[in-house]
Amino acid sequence: MKPVLSVASECAPLVKTGGLADVTGALPAALRTQGVDMRTLLPAYPQIRKQVEMGETVLVEDDLFGGRAELRRARLGALDLYLLDAPHLFDREGSIYLGPDGEDWPDNPERFAALSWIAARLGAEGHGDWAPQVVHCHDWQAGLAPVYLHAMGAAGRVKTVITVHNVAFQGLAPADRLDRLRLPRWAWHPDGLEYWGQISALKAGLVYADRLTTVSPTYARELMRPEFGMGLDGVLRARHADLCGILNGIDVEAWDPAADSAIVPYRQPRGKAKNRRALLDEFGLPDGDGPLAVVISRLTEQKGLDLLLDVLPPFLGQGGRLALLGSGNRAFEAAWRAASDSYEGLSVRIGYDETLSHRMIAGGDAIIVPSRFEPCGLTQLYGLRYGTVPVVALTGGLADTVIPANDASLRRGVATGVQFAPVTSDALADALGRLCELYAQDKLWEKLQRNAMKHPVGWDVSAAEYAALYDRLGTHT
């Protein structure tokens, strides 16, 4: 078995704010079938300590950015865990990233530098007879680990991979924290971890990791363009030979319409009817002649939900209904609440509820994902799994996972959803009109649903790609 250390700031089912947690939670079990022994390093947040029993102490730091820290073992189901127990950094209730004021914790650079530092130590020193051949870093929170491994002189024997789940989050810190974060002066230059006079944890990972991945092939290509690269497109173009896109999958056991305890289970599209009726009742929506669409999303500009607000009247006018679950930007939350008060066919829940999201995807006819950019996206994959037809923008992983219902795909009988481009209100309005047209054709609509439910959305293919990547980095054992 090839030993690999996965380093992340969140991991389902222990702690989750988005799709990153779903990926880091599902990947270890998927990789085990590929001959990879993956262990996961996480901060020991209070919500994690409540769910697992902390085991042996693996290593100790008497002063890890301001306080004592211990690395502890733990296990939860298929997850083999290393937990960084540093109360001065992580013993905080509420959001793992944000303070009570809704802003980033001021010491986030130190908090996640600590995670990266311990990852590098574990990579360099190993634990007992287990020593990782590869350290797999996820997003900026683990981005400094490759730099630390270089500084420790261990980069030659321990290889590194960094996966970009969303390039918009880069882990910036003031330059005066360079020494405080134990970063080597030799890395402080524009071709290193310096980014316009600041430290960029993500850029550090992109420069010093051995291989770079992101979560869909299309997003890998998009990242090398200025409109998507968020200022790092030049770095990614320079390393294009080391960059690849590996599509995310979902946990097909946790998301299985035939065995989902949150819903009335079903195996065929017509089995959705009871869940649809229940969802209308739960959201207080009257039935209509058109499709019942759902949205489960962060309410941010990235997700394009301002565009959806613009085109609600014609969609609702065609008999469509919309149930939305989400939270985020307060202005967006207020706008959606106001729209819910104005439109009979719209009902909104502000917040996040994992069980409710299962009921929504099971009961919805369609799921709308109008993102301006989307590295991979998972909700459209849940939709496919449950026969809930995706309506998606033509970008990132949305482009890679949904087969658009155009004339060619309909003739061949392979369409699974609706795509639109460019990402504008007019194009989205056309897509929703197309959705209503398809929904009105019973046999065609059921064919779309059946195609969606047959579409592969699990981890089998992608896990094999990750395993092959690890093999290319070192000798398989």
Binding residue numbers: 16
Are residues 429 and 398 in contact, defined by beta-carbon separation less than 8 angstroms?
no
Lay out the sheet containing 389-393: strands in order across. 346-350, 321-328, 292-299, 366-369, 389-393, 418-420
Helix (H, G, I), strand (E, B) or coil at 17: coil
What CA–CA distance (Å, rounded) separates 27 from 8?
12
What is residue 142's DSSP assignment? G
The first and second tokens of residue 389, run together, are 């037809």
The first and second tokens of residue 153, run together, are 């002189």
Instruction: Give the count of beta carbons closer than 10 Å to the beta carbon of residue 329.
Output: 16
What CA–CA distance (Å, rounded) separates 316 from 325?
18
Are residues 455 and 429 in contact, defined by beta-carbon separation less than 8 angstroms?
no
Point out the annotated binding site for ADP-alpha-D-glucose.
16
CA-based R_g, the chain, Å: 23
Are residues 342 and 313 in contact, defined by beta-carbon separation less than 8 angstroms?
no
What CA–CA distance (Å, rounded) separates 269 from 447?
9
